Amino acid sequence: MAEEFLKDHGCSCCNGHHDEDEGIKLNEVGTCSCGCGDDEDDEEESPLWTLIAGTVLFLITYLTNIIPEAVSLPAYIIAYLLLGYGVLREAGENIMKRRPFDENFLMAVATIGAFAIGDYPEAVAVMLFSRIGEAMEDRAVHRSRKQVAAAIDMRPEVVHRLGADGSTVTIPAKEAIAGDVVVVRVGDRIPLDGIVTAGESLIDTSALTGEPVPVICREGAEVLSGSINTTGVLQVKVTKPLAESMVTKILESVERAAARKPKIDRFITRFSRIYTPAVVAIAAATAIVPSLVTGQWHYWIYTALTFLVISCPCALVLSVPLSFFAGIGAASKQGILFKGGIAMEQMKHIKAVVFDKTGTITKGNFVVHQVLPADNRSADDVLCLCASAEQASNHPIARSVVAQACEQGLRLTEPSAMEEIAGQGLKARVGSHDVLCGNRQLLDGQHIALPAMDKVEYGSELYVAVDGAYAGRLVISDTIKDDAVDAIQAISRMGITTAMLTGDSQQAADYIASKTGIDDVRAKLLPQDKVNQMDVLRQQYGPVLFVGDGINDAPVLAGADVGAAMGSGADAAVEAADVVFMQSRVSAVPTALHLSRETMKIAMENVVFALGIKAVVMIAGFAGYASMWAAVFADSGVAALCVLNSVRMLYKK
């Protein structure tokens, strides 16, 4: 698929932190291909050896007498450049772009000021703590992404093309053209749209449609890429190349949805846009105004430089990323993998949690929900006859009927004859009885009269007739996950609205919502409809967290304020998400929300504490009671205390 150059939006690896004129270039799974998330590129920009070398040189110079005092200044300068080159470069680039007021600019000005007044260790320490904070957050994010990559199988990049002599050749999927015949093995995802030319199988389309019931495919049936072949080998004649296939269309929707995703800056960046110009203005006023009145330029310039050193956001630059490091680490222990700190930060502001249905709230499997016998038969009798007839079928619904009968300890009889009727069901000879099992169309075709009956609330109906007379019906349904009800109640107690977007029927969606307590339900939606409805929900409630697992969920996952995917879901969904729940439990959603709130609470505690101490020392400095060492404590000492506060997250249960 051709990559599209998109402007002014975020991505799962860089969160949109790029030059506005540069834009973001997305790859085929909707993540940024700019290279910002690539480990090798990161190593080139901020190699680990510079952090190690700068730290060792600083500690040797500051703590030992190995380096002579005469050359200590060059040693400090070298350590400063090794540790702070990235900050100085970023500050310079932002000045050229006319966006100077951020944490990099203030650290650069404050540390250069520290050199000017002879406080060399303080200048180097600021850069050291900054690098440590960045390294810790990067390590947490890198580990989280590694776990995601290890837990999923990537989308197949090849197809098995059938040759004229009956042999197969493996070729890249993008090289297949319309007219090629490809072999799709059992368990494989169908790679390209096409028409079945040979074979018969059940196709799982739930990742595309949200409908859990598999579809029978025989010769002449149309199949879509992204569906899963579950029971038999198929030969499929390609009708559309990869660039025009259903999966590609969905992935293109991911790109468009990502372009519409609200762009969010990191907390420290937003904070610095206000804090930095205020500090610079106060420092300039401190240096100039009293000097014009008293004429003591040297004293007030020294005071202003001391003020800059005190106000340097070293504690914030270290402790805020470390808070996210600890938060991401605590979440990963519970199987919740955040792909970046900004996703955790944004999750705190979520006002609505929107779920997909199949595979997210429900298990995506089938069980016998009810047995409704005719007046002259018992439930066990109907279940036993139906299960006996269904023993030879591989259909998931048939397997669920047999499993239920075995669970109840019923003795089944092997059918002496069995015939499947395409799209309707089957008929079988069980003992001395002729048994029909299938949909209503099957019984109508055999002219079997059905009594008046109530419509089932939820699930698929399997009708049973014995010896030409209606015997009863079984209700087969997907099951709600064990923890879904408690999880949704926990989300509601947080004051967050719950909603559901699904491609399933309105009746099925309403039933699940009524059982789980979901507030807002929207059903019968195609992938593009989900994106539009999510935008409506965002306007109605505020920032949205979407939780899904299918290929059809990838666009809405990419476009949500925060997208969360079940780890057992489709590759495209996992790739497009900001958060992955590896255990596929609904209870992970309120847990993630709680962890994000705790993380941001600790980060805010650090901010308030650091600014409070700095304010006290600043006031003391203006009054003539604070030394440079007080300034050092207000920066480095406070940073150390904030670090201790941040790591509390790692020990939270």
Radius of gyration, alpha carbons of the chain: 32
- At 521, the pLDDT band (50, 70, 90 cuts) reads very high
Tokens of 475: 């209700």
Cα(112)–Cα(119) distance, integer angstroms: 10
- At 256, the pLDDT band (50, 70, 90 cuts) reads low
Residue 641 has a pLDDT of: 77
- Segment 297-329, tens digit of pLDDT: 877 887 787 777 777 766 666 667 777 778 888
Residue 169 has a pLDDT of: 87
| Percent share of the chain, pLDDT over 70 | 79
Residue 632 has a pLDDT of: 60
353 or 37, which is more confident: 353
- Segment 194-233, tens digit of pLDDT: 999 998 888 877 666 656 667 788 888 888 887 888 878 8
- pLDDT greater than 70 at residue 610: yes
> To the nearest whole number, what is the mean pLDDT of the chain?
79
Q: Is the dihedral of CA 594, 596, 602, 607 positive or negative?
A: negative
Residue 626 has a pLDDT of: 57
- Active-site amino acid positions: 356
The CA distances from residue 126 to 33, 161, 555, in Å, are 32, 60, 42
Q: Classify residue 569 by its DSSP letter.
A: S
What string of H, E and C letters represents the secondary structure of 69-136?
HHHHHHHHHHHHHHHHHHHHHHHHHHHHCCCCCCHHHHHHHHHHHHHHCCCHHHHHHHHHHHHHHHHH
- What region, left, alpha or beta, does residue 199 occupy, with left being phi > 0 and alpha being psi -120 to 50 degrees? left
